[in-house]
Amino acid sequence: MNIHEYQAKALLKEFGAPVASGVPIFSADEAEAAAKKLPGPLYVVKSQIHAGGRGKGKFTELGPDAKGGVRLAKSIEEVVANSAEMLGNTLVTKQTGAAGKVVNRLYIEDGADIDRELYLSILVDRTVGQVAFVVSTEGGMDIEEVAASTPEKILTLPIDPDAGVTDAAATRLCDALELTGDAREDGMKLFPILYKAFTEKDMSLLEINPLIVMTDGHVRVLDAKVSFDGNALFRHDDIMALRDKSEEDEKEIEASKFDLAYVALDGDIGCMVNGAGLAMATMDIIKLYGAEPANFLDVGGGASKEKVTAAFKIITADPNVKGILVNIFGGIMRCDVIAEGVVSAVKEVGLKVPLVVRLEGTNVELGKKIINESGLNVIAADDLDDAAQKIVKAVKG
Ligand code: ADP
Ligand code: MG
């Protein structure tokens, strides 16, 4: 689960991290009062959407000359004018996709005098099985670009879970970020704070881009992007309360109600598969034959008929889906249950696109019988390879 920048900053502030003062607003009427709570004379009006790259983003509806999603304002009047222009409009950034995201919240923040922009993130480094810091002096820009062009400017530092962020580790991070004087003292304090926030709140990603050194020599968290491990949310009611469903994919919200592992993607072949490994392999083979999957969907091991029905409905409700591939290897999951789910979903919502079904494993004969006797227009497939070729051919013609 992701949260907004202003929520992430409030959370980091509770742990003692240096963040600027700021006020979130939901309508332009609130802009003036919000700005009056800040010291001034420099303000920043920041779009709150669950995507990065806002500063360089475009409000396409406002024409080619409109300013981006993060704007400096030199007076309260400018804060108000910018707020009125930005709220309710669609911001398109590198991370939103072409459709963009409607800006329903703004964060009015105290403007900082920036000397240097740095990059810092904390993530779960699966290659070493530890939480790791990733830092670079090249902040404020795309870290992927830095990684591609000047990888030597990035330090990845795994943290020993027993020891936490030791002085030695914090010193290495300070060195990599070239922090000196007050900024170095701030850094030595900040890194353990961020690590504590990350582990205590079960984050999966904490990205601060940029972390800044101000002209007064002190360090400040200027942007904050936080994702939480969905499997640990049950123990964080405070985090759950920050969920903004308007930022999430409707299909993913529906899937989460049925406990389905579902991720919406950009392609046109809807997939219903059991087991994450088989789901990945199915997506790979669809790509191999020249098409793109519309989703990742693992219905899980012991899915009920209701769950399968819900899953099938989510796939068919996606207007991008031009064909569906059901690929089930029945182990714990029985093929007849899948078949019943598919048939009942099709009876409810109809079938407007080609459907290829490949069943194998427990109760496969019964599963095939249910499909065959249902009168549905199903293309049967013998194995994964055959199934992928058939659905790609059905969709591409
Ligand atoms: P995004 O990464 O989505 O573009 P950021 O929060 O990183 O959004 O803001 C983009 C840039 O705007 C920053 O790199 C920084 O240069 C500037 N900026 C953001 N917040 C402030 C602030 N409070 N004071 C001064 N400049 C800011
Ligand atoms: Mg940023």
The domains of the chain, with CATH numbers, are 20-110 (3.30.1490.20), 114-239 (3.30.470.20), 249-396 (3.40.50.261)
| Residues in contact with ligand 1 (CB, 6 Å cut-off) | 20, 44, 46, 52-55, 70, 109, 111-112, 114, 117, 140, 209-210, 222-223
Separation of alpha carbons 223 and 54, rounded Å: 11
pLDDT digits (tens, 9 = 90+) for 301-347: 777 788 888 999 999 989 999 999 999 888 888 889 888 888 888 88
* Token code pair at residue 365: 């004969």
Q: Is 61 a catalytic residue?
A: no
Separation of alpha carbons 76 and 133, rounded Å: 38
Pocket test for ligand 1, best of 108, 143, 223 (most atoms within 8 A of CB): 223
* Phi-psi label, residue 327: left if phi above 0, alpha if psi -120 to 50, beta otherwise: beta
Q: Which of 300, 253, 252 is nearest to 279 (CA)?
A: 300
Beta strands 106-110 and 70-73 are unpaired
* Token code pair at residue 193: 């704070």
Ligand 2 centre to CA of 54 (Å) is 7
Q: Give the amino acid at 154.
A: I
Beta strands 219-221 and 323-330 are unpaired
pTM over 0.95: no
Angstrom distances, CA of residue 112 to CA of 34, 172, 207, 293: 17, 26, 19, 44
* Token code pair at residue 214: 């101000």
Ligand 2 centre to CA of 227 (Å) is 15
Query: Rounded to 10 degrees, what is the CA torsion of 87, 90, 96, 98?
Result: -170
Percent of the chain at pLDDT > 90 equals: 77
pLDDT digits (tens, 9 = 90+) for 82-115: 999 999 999 999 999 888 999 999 999 999 999 9
3-state SS, residue 174: helix
**Is the distance from CB of 144 to CB of 241 less than 8 angstroms?**
no
Q: Which of 27-31, 173-177, 191-195, 369-373 has the lowest mean pLDDT?
A: 369-373
Taking every pair of Cα atoms in the chain, the longest distance, rounded to a whole number of angstroms, is: 77
